[in-house]
Structure 1
Amino acid sequence: MSPVTHSDRRAPAGSGISQPPQAAGIKLATATLASLLALLGSTPVLAQASTPAESAMVRLIRGLIDSGALARDVGEALLAQAQTEAIAAQQAQRQASTASAPQASTRAQAGDVRVPYVPQTVRDQIRDEIKGEVMAQARAEGWAAPNETPEWTKRIRVEGDLRVRNESRLFSGSNSNIQTDWAKLNDDGPYDVNPNTSLSLPPLMNTRKDRDNLFRIRARLGIFAELSERTLAGVRIATGSDDSPVSTTQTLGGGLGKKEIWLDQAWLSHRPVDWLTLVGGRFGNPFFSTDTLFSGDLNFDGIAAKFDKTLAANKDVELFGTVGVIPLEYSSDSFPSTSQDKGKSENKWLFGVQMGAAWKVNADNQLRGALAYYNFSNITGKVSDPCALYAGADHCSSDWSRPAFMQKGNTLMLLRDIALDPTDPANTPMPQYVGLASKFRLLDLNFRWDTKAVGNTSLRVDANYIRNLAYDEDGMWRRARGGIVNNFGGSGGTSQADFESGANAYMLQATYGTASPSNRGDWNVLAGYKYIEPDALPDGYNDSSFHLGGTNARGYYLGGSYAIDKNAWFTGRWISSKEIYGPPLSIDLLQLEFNARL
């Protein structure tokens, strides 16, 4: 998967309730066979009313039954109806002939009916055409071949992909080696920040020692069902070393132990009208976006509504949009577990709305652009009420506000207001969690241009700009009450004067060749640049490869792919990045992959 991934998902339109296949088949076959009977009943001789049952139609039906083309119960029902209608038709013809031509030149015997002559070639042609129509309908509805695959299996499809990757992570020897791993601190914490009582360092990231030749895999398998013409359902499982939302990649090794499988998607979608699709559950990214903001492996929980409408005045212009309500985290019902007084429900949300348009300028040029607004509600950290941990308390009121998942880069703050032991204030343990200091309300602009370049080869240009409209440095410091713990300059100071952050991010990428190789010989090469300031966006949801995930990063990447077979291709990628602010952290990645798609 390239460093830029976009979402473009659709659900089918139309709906209705159909008759049971066998009943529908009988109805069609009866109508068509009756028509054929009326034609084939016309012979060049005087037919006797006493022998209609052995007509060509009756013999045809019996032949279909004997050959297995018609189920016996269906065939016998058709046979009985054909014989009955043939008798009725002959009686009607006899009466009409007697009334209209009593003085015919050829004397008719009692019970004879005179009918017009139909050549044998015409009768054969009519028979073959109607037989073909009946059999086509029978095969489509499954009633002519009882042992054929059941109809419901035709509404289910299986999709999946597999990737084998060799990855090397290369760190500069001049990187700072005192980079705190804040995500691990929260997971393993709380961590005592009082140097008088804490005898160990906080968890630290590896920043200098390379990690060569990591073999990693990603496998995803989904089952998708068309419940009706308007309703779909899907379930997908995937690998993953942990429950990280931004990666389904599994690192191999581990003593050759078995690997874990996770529920990656589970959703239902319905299209009430042709231009609107509703989806709920756990589903793929419904927004048109890049992995600067949302990782290509990221799935969304909640509900979303997507619309797409081609303009009546210009069929080359399509409007589209998405509205999403995404629950990010619910506080525990039993928090705090050791207190009779439980905390109120605290829910974290993502509310997103996007509007965009796609324009087919001509055969060689297509444009696509979108403007989105994302409000990450209630994800900011909060300083707790004073909590007397020295007196036996095991929690503070704002412990719930630490992020469920984060990578690195965002400005962080201490969450606990810990009361000092009046008998020994200097040696009061101060176990802390950290939370996000900034609020996040994002403006997201996306643009794509597909065109033809040298040699009529495809060229795609993607651009993305993100601005955190809620970024407020003074507000962050007030909210944290001075407890900011990262994103300081190289002077070593920790005051607001030493603080460095920002609210902007942008990306530019060009892909030359087939954007998504699928046929043998397809290829592409790409190049791109990213710049992500520390508080431009939440660091927990973007691409986990560039700078090993998160924000406060800038750098370039190069790559290419070549398909060696249908749905099988090799990819190589080089990513080089470094920090924007703060202590030096330069990271290079080399990824070599073999990909396959079901």
Structure 2
Amino acid sequence: MKSHPTRLACAVALALTCTAGPVLAQAPSQNATVNLIRLLVQQGVLPQAQADALVAQAEAEAAQARKADIGAAGAAQAQPGDVRVTYIPETVREQIREEVKNEVMSQAKAENWAQPNTFPDWVSRITVEGDVRVRNESRLMDGANSNELINFAKWNDSGPVPTVVENKPYGLKIPYLNSRQDRRNLWRVRARLGVKATLSDRWEAGIRLATGSDDSPVSTSDTLGNGMGKKHLWLDQAYLSYRPTDWATVVAGRASSPFDSTDLLWSSDLNVDGISAAFKHALSDRPVTLFGNLGAYALEYANTPWDRNSLSEGSSENKWLLGAQIGAEWKINERNNLRGSLAYYHFDNIAGQRSSACTLYASSDVCDTDWSRPAFMQKGNTVFLLRDIHQWSADPKNWNEWQYVGLASKFNLLDVNMRWDTQVMNGLNLRLAGNYVRNLAYDSNKMVDRAGGLYNIASNGTYDASGNPTGIESGGNAWMVQATLGSSLGLKDKGDWLAFAGYKYIEPDAMPDGYNDSSFHLGGTNARGYFVGAGYAFEKNVTGHLRWSSSKEVYGAPLSIDIIQLELNARF
């Protein structure tokens, strides 16, 4: 009869298991063991000689186990349910521990999930995050728009601009807005990459890079094309954050704004330069969370022109934004949440100042209030000519009026925000939001005085049939309402969707025109109109959006603009 090593090994292991197992707890059953061995003989697994030897071994071990149990009975009477555990020496236990440890560490190293001292400590404290957006944008201009709208932002950037040139063959160089030519299918991209470092339980540092066509504070989008040329990259954020308590955080540097707001006033791409303090505290006895924010931000470090008399640099004329906000969020129940805030913003030293009498011989000459022109503008604010120029020649052919423009109004803003989140129609999320802004410093009479008279007003003025100025057509109010409906308002998970619609109304001097959304009406103030859109999450971190806005002027010459944006966003 041929032997089968594998079957033999299995049989021997099974037989030994049946005999050795009971030895630890109680005397084995001889009949069960003998019957098993006989069955293996009948199946041809074991030869008879080997079977007889196994039976003899089993009977010997059983007898030995019974003798050990009788000896132990004198020391301790066994009770029902007791389990006898064989003693394991300390050396054996130590050997088992070392073997298990070595096996676990070998597996950890092979799978790269626990390798001590492989990476430096700072690696575990670094977080990398970013996003990429690809957008197709169409800018559609109404053919009835005025073609004589001045681009005052470009005026100051390219200035000073000659407004009176009697003997120059090239004539006036005043820049005008594109108000009638469509810009369809602009492909634009935005990419942002940020690194955050946790320095301790209280301290954090952050840096973020972003694209952008220029250093505009309200847009990080770059337009494709340009002969396949490389795109720009800017330092978008750089800050230190300190959390002195669980309910307060202080941030210094260039960082995102902590204020609760909408893009009616502040663009979603806007970052602030300075120091912020944010406070948040949940009341223990009711479902209400209080919050507040403080901020002091540098807008521009300016100087008066070089002083010829003292042979020194002119005095500092710095421009600041100071803000304070209080608010509360009330979780009414599982379906309803109400949030509101009240903020005040003071823009210090940003209004234009009419210069003292100055004489210009060339475009490089300066006047003493040139510093008061704004560092960045979009469009819409009332502006005036800054320089009080006195001609050096009595002949008009030699006259030059090289001019800058400045803001006619001061800005102290009251900002009110309200938002109600609820659920409707079998669990759909509905958000109703409203935002109202009032420029408490708006005063048309003071604006005229600041400009040195109506004849120096360069925009938003009213005129009689003869072309003589009669006043200012402006206002200091802005408001927005918006409704959003969707399965998830944050588009967090695959398959989430939302749709929204709203209306904006922004009078010319309700706020500085340089810091709000750059898409609606192509940025700035003196705009009113509708916007609608929808969003969908293709994956957890991949979303698509479609937006359309249609806007026109509030006062003045006609300017109607439609914007259509289709974009794909990915974040990581």
Shared fold per TM-score greater than 0.5: yes
Cα 1:440–1:418 shift into 2, 3 Å: same
Residue in structure 2 matched with residue 308 of structure 1 by the alignment: 280
Deviation at 1:419, TM superposition (A): 1.6
1:367-516 → structure 2 map (5 Å cutoff): 367-390=338-361, 394-424=365-395, 427-482=398-453, 483-489=456-462, 497-513=470-486, 514-516=488-490
C-alpha distance in 2 between matches for 1:384 and 1:284: 36
- Deviations 1:273-313, CA, capped at 9 Å, x for gaps: 11110001100111000001000000001000000001122
C-alpha distance in 2 between matches for 1:355 and 1:290: 15
Residue in structure 2 matched with residue 165 of structure 1 by the alignment: 135
Cα 1:162–1:395 shift into 2, 3 Å: same
Residue in structure 2 matched with residue 155 of structure 1 by the alignment: 125
1:531-550 → structure 2 map (5 Å cutoff): 531-550=505-524
Q: Is the 2:463–2:469 contact (alpha carbons within 8 Å) kept by the matching residues of 1?
A: no
Cα 1:213–1:65 shift into 2, 3 Å: same
Deviation at 1:197, TM superposition (A): 4.6
In structure 1, list runs of 5 or more residues that go unmatched: 1-42, 72-134
Tell me which of 509, 517, 540 is aligned to 1:566.
Answer: 540
Residue 517 (1) aligns with residue 488 (2): no
C-alpha distance in 2 between matches for 1:173 and 1:392: 36
Q: Which residue identity is paired with 2:201?
A: E
Deviation at 1:233, TM superposition (A): 1.3
Residue in structure 2 matched with residue 196 of structure 1 by the alignment: 166
Cα 1:369–1:389 shift into 2, 3 Å: same
Q: Is the 2:363–2:402 contact (alpha carbons within 8 Å) kept by the matching residues of 1?
A: no
C-alpha distance in 1 between matches for 2:301 and 2:467: 33
Q: Is the 1:343–1:397 contact (alpha carbons within 8 Å) kept by the matching residues of 2?
A: no
- Deviations 1:559-590, CA, capped at 9 Å, x for gaps: 00111222112111110000000000000011
C-alpha distance in 1 between matches for 2:321 and 2:314: 22
Q: Is the 2:278–2:294 contact (alpha carbons within 8 Å) kept by the matching residues of 1?
A: yes
Deviation at 1:595, TM superposition (A): 1.1
C-alpha distance in 2 between matches for 1:568 and 1:246: 23
Deviation at 1:144, TM superposition (A): 6.7
3-state secondary structure, aligned to 1:479:
helix
Residue in structure 2 matched with residue 69 of structure 1 by the alignment: 105
Deviation at 1:426, TM superposition (A): 6.6
Q: Is the 2:303–2:318 contact (alpha carbons within 8 Å) kept by the matching residues of 1?
A: no
Tell me which of 241, 248, 252 is aligned to 1:280.
Answer: 252
3-state secondary structure, aligned to 1:194:
strand
Cα 1:495–1:285 shift into 2, 3 Å: farther
Deviating more after overlay: 153-162 vs 237-246: 153-162
- Deviations 1:338-359, CA, capped at 9 Å, x for gaps: 9933210110000000000000
Deviation at 1:334, TM superposition (A): 7.8
3-state secondary structure, aligned to 1:571:
strand
Residue in structure 1 matched with residue 192 of structure 2 by the alignment: 220
Q: Is the 1:518–1:569 contact (alpha carbons within 8 Å) kept by the matching residues of 2?
A: no
C-alpha distance in 2 between matches for 1:474 and 1:245: 31
3-state secondary structure, aligned to 2:470:
helix
Q: Is the 1:490–1:583 contact (alpha carbons within 8 Å) kept by the matching residues of 2?
A: no
- Deviations 1:71-112, CA, capped at 9 Å, x for gaps: 9xxxxxxxxxxxxxxxxxxxxxxxxxxxxxxxxxxxxxxxxx
Deviation at 1:62, TM superposition (A): 2.7
Cα 1:336–1:191 shift into 2, 3 Å: farther
Deviation at 1:493, TM superposition (A): 6.8
Residue in structure 2 matched with residue 528 of structure 1 by the alignment: 502
Residue 583 (1) aligns with residue 557 (2): yes
Cα 1:366–1:143 shift into 2, 3 Å: closer
3-state secondary structure, aligned to 1:517:
coil
Q: Which residue identity is paired with 2:180?
A: R
Cα 1:337–1:278 shift into 2, 3 Å: farther
- Deviations 1:500-551, CA, capped at 9 Å, x for gaps: 0000000000010122213221111100000000000000000000000000
C-alpha distance in 1 between matches for 2:499 and 2:307: 53
- Deviations 1:186-223, CA, capped at 9 Å, x for gaps: 11111111153561241111101111111001111111
Q: Which residue identity is paired with 1:69?
A: M
Residue 347 (1) aligns with residue 318 (2): yes
Residue correspondences, number? 482
3-state secondary structure, aligned to 1:240:
coil
Residue in structure 2 matched with residue 240 of structure 1 by the alignment: 212
Q: Is the 1:371–1:446 contact (alpha carbons within 8 Å) kept by the matching residues of 2?
A: yes
3-state secondary structure, aligned to 2:400:
coil
C-alpha distance in 1 between matches for 2:267 and 2:362: 44
Q: Which residue identity is paired with 1:321?
A: G
In structure 2, list runs of 5 or more residues that go unmatched: 1-84
3-state secondary structure, aligned to 1:54:
helix
3-state secondary structure, aligned to 1:163:
strand
Cα 1:572–1:70 shift into 2, 3 Å: closer
Q: Is the 1:160–1:219 contact (alpha carbons within 8 Å) kept by the matching residues of 2?
A: yes
Cα 1:450–1:492 shift into 2, 3 Å: farther
- Deviations 1:398-432, CA, capped at 9 Å, x for gaps: 11111110000000011111122244357420100
TM-score (norm 2): 0.80
Residue 293 (1) aligns with residue 265 (2): yes
Larger Rg: 2
C-alpha distance in 1 between matches for 2:198 and 2:347: 33
